Amino acid sequence: MSSGEFLTLFLWIHWLLTCCSGALATTEPSKTSPTTLKKTDFNSIESKFSLRTLEEPDDDTCYLVPGQEHTVDQCNFNHTSKTFVVIHGWTVTGMFESWVPKLVDALYKREPDSNVIVVDWLTRAQQHYPVSAEYTQLVGQDVASFIDWMDDTIQYPIDNIHILGYSLGAHAAGVAGSLTNKKVNRITGLDPAGPTFEYAENAIILSPDDAEFVDVLHTYTRGSPDRSIGIQKPVGHIDIYPNGGSFQPGCNLGEALRLIAEKGFGDVDQLVKCSHERSIHLFIDSLLYEEKPSMAYRCNSKEAFEKGLCLSCRKNRCNTLGYKVNKVRGKRSTKMYLKTRAQMPFKVFHYQVKVHFFAKKNLTVTDQPFLVSLYGTQGESVNMPITIPEISTNKTYSYLIYTELDIGDLLMLKIKWEKDSYFSWSDWFTAYLFNIQKIRVKSGEFQKKLVFCSKEGNFASLQRGKEPVVFVKCNEHAKKKQE
Ligand SMILES: *[C@@H]1O[C@H](CO)[C@@H](O)[C@H](O)[C@H]1NC(C)=O
Ligand SMILES: *[C@@H]1O[C@H](CO)[C@@H](O)[C@H](O)[C@H]1NC(C)=O
Ligand SMILES: *[C@@H]1O[C@H](CO)[C@@H](O)[C@H](O)[C@H]1NC(C)=O
């Protein structure tokens, strides 16, 4: 069992223990359409709307109360600037999780004049999971009533509202968006919850018609549909699956154990949600590191992306992850992919490497370890380990590699074929050798294509366990030859 599977299992045991004893009878989502329940006895609103401040991002110092107009001025709500509405998810402790003030703080740092409102539905969010999941409809109604009230009484333009919902909060945001008199500007779904929602009707989950623009980050979709923590299917105009969406780097068991050793078991809950919560930190990253925007690329499948086949930016095929997303609305949801680092800043630089292998003798090898080094005008990224699934004589392959550093314009490329860790008799009889004439490299971030030629001659011979082969830009290579 891999560490990721372990964590998923762990989380499910955790959920079963805390959530479902005796409550399973109520798991079916209500069949009542939320519209029929709507409005507008303000007394029935249970959710609270806290206007947070940059000075005290983790304190509820002032609530906007629907029906009580004076609270708007009391809280120093800025009528002319935009408003963020943050909706949290399910909670074991009944308290705000530590990401809430972090997100509030990042929103204010990026948009100092904005209003950041945190929706407090903690009481309903603290129930057995299926109960809380159903409450998202009521929370959505509360938020919609609140927004319509802002529109009706102080003529606050709904077009200035951006709702951010995490986990169950993403579906609450969707319900809210579907009920408001006019459409809100944007809803960002941060790893919308999966269980009980994967197959639910659009009215009770986040969907593209809930706002002018809906963007979604999927970060913890490992497992079978409806069992995975995050919803697997696309639910917005743009659905981004960082690192394939199933699991995030830095969230493995080793990391978890290290954190437990450091911080004790108190934070286990936080650890288990590492990949789930990564969606929020990716968004925070996009707010704080304006100069390091992560790029995502449209692709039909995770597998094609892993081969580096989807690094094009033509016709909106690439987009910026997070706050500065380019609001492209297609007829259908657009699935996009990218790799990230394990911590902030998350940005990496993607490259497609295309290689034709040739040799006199036929040879096919699988799962071979290679070390790739890239050298550029601004830096280098050396000995990046990659495992190549298959190489066969006289075939062309495409791979995705990525660097954490911006190395500038690529100048040189080095490849080393490592020996398998175990000793094999076949090494004595087989010549593990492939020749390479050219390597084509395409960069996603810079949208540049380059061709590299062997530094030594017409072609380079890549041999298992031997010296690395070196490639330089072809034209320079030609120039040198002339000198
Ligand atoms: C309200 O926001 C606007 C920008 O949208 C800004 O110019 C103004 O100073 C803000 N007002 C207050 C009282 O902060
Ligand atoms: C691969 O292609 C080259 C050139 O087309 C040819 O000379 C060589 O014999 C081929 N190798 C095999 C194993 O067929
Ligand atoms: C290599 O394999 C290909 C296809 O499997 C075959 O057509 C070719 O003749 C082989 N070449 C040699 C040199 O064995």
* CATH number of the domain bearing residue 52: 3.40.50.1820
* CATH number of the domain that residue 398 is part of: 2.60.60.20
Are 434 and 404 in a shared domain?
A: yes
Residue 16 lies inside a defined structural domain of this protein:
no
Q: Is the peptide bond before 40 cis (omega within 30 degrees of 0)?
A: yes
Four-residue CA torsion sign, 233, 325, 334, 219:
negative
Q: Report pLDDT for 25.
A: 34
Is 3 a residue of the active site?
A: no
pLDDT at 17: 41
User: Do 320 and 391 belong together in one domain?
Assistant: no
- Measuring CA to CA, how many Å separate 179 from each of 45, 125, 211, 331? 15, 21, 10, 22
- pTM equals 0.89
> Digits of tens for pLDDT over the chain (483 positions)?
444 444 444 444 445 444 433 333 334 444 444 444 455 578 899 999 999 999 999 999 999 999 999 999 999 999 999 999 999 999 988 999 999 999 999 999 999 999 999 999 999 999 999 999 999 999 999 999 999 999 999 999 999 999 999 999 999 999 999 999 999 999 999 999 999 999 999 999 999 999 999 999 999 999 988 889 999 999 999 999 999 999 999 888 776 677 677 766 655 566 678 999 999 999 999 999 999 999 999 999 999 999 999 999 999 999 999 999 999 998 889 999 999 999 999 999 999 999 999 999 999 999 999 999 999 999 999 999 999 999 999 999 999 999 999 999 999 999 999 987 666 666 666 778 999 999 999 999 999 999 999 998 899 999 998 999 999 999 755 555 554
Q: Tell me, yes or no, whether 269 and 332 share the same domain.
A: yes
Nearest ligand 1 atom to the CA of 81 is 5
Q: Which of 50, 132, 145, 167 is catalytic?
A: 167
478 falls within a domain: no
Instruction: Single out the catalytic residue among 191, 215, 239, 285.
Output: 191
For residue 460, what is the DSSP state? E
Q: What is the residue type of 104?
A: V
Residue of 221, 252, 227, 243 whose CA lies nearest to 2: 252
- Specify the pLDDT at position 98: 92
**How far is ligand 1, taken at its centre, from the CA of residue 148, in Å?**
22
Q: Is residue 479 part of a domain?
A: no
pLDDT of residue 449: 95
What is the Cα–Cα distance from 218 to 236, expressed in whole angstroms? 11
pLDDT at residue 36, rounded to an integer: 44
Q: Is 60 annotated as a binding residue?
A: no
Using alpha carbons, list the distances in angstroms from residue 249 to 242, 274, 300, 311, 403: 10, 9, 22, 21, 14
Closest atom of ligand 1 to CA, residue 78: 1
Per DSSP, helices labelled H in 302-457 are 302-306, 426-429
Residue 254 lies in a domain: yes
| Inside any domain, residue 302 | yes
Q: Are both 180 and 258 inside the same structural domain?
A: yes
Do 213 and 284 reside in the same domain of the chain? yes
CB contact set of 155 (below 8 Å; sequence gap of 6+): none
Instruction: Judge whether 37 lies within some domain.
Output: no
Give burial (CB, 10 Å; 0-12/13-18/19+) of 28: exposed
- Alpha-carbon distance of 116 to 105, in angstroms, equals 9
Residues 388/399, Cβ–Cβ less than 8 Å: yes
Domain boundary among 298, 315, 338: 338
Q: Please check whether residues 397 and 324 belong to one and the same domain.
A: no
Same domain, 334 and 375: no
Same domain, yes or no: 166 and 225 = yes
**Number of domains observed in the structure of the chain:** 2
Domain containing residue 273: 48-338
Residues contacting 464, CB < 8 A, separation 6+: 368, 417, 418, 419, 427, 432, 433
Domain boundary among 338, 360, 393: 338
Determine contact, residues 352/442, Cβ cutoff 8 Å.
yes
Q: Do residues 355 and 314 share a domain? A: no
The predicted pLDDT at position 35 comes to: 46
Residues 330 and 361 occupy one common structural domain? no
Instruction: Indicate if 79 belongs to the active site.
Output: no
Residue nearest to atom 2 of ligand 2 (CA): 394
First to last CA, the chain: 58
Residues 248, 158 within the same domain: yes
Residue that terminates a domain, selected from 303, 338, 373: 338
Judge if 174 and 199 occupy the same domain.
Answer: yes
Picking from 336, 233, 252, 234, the residue whose alpha carbon sits closest to that of residue 294 is: 336
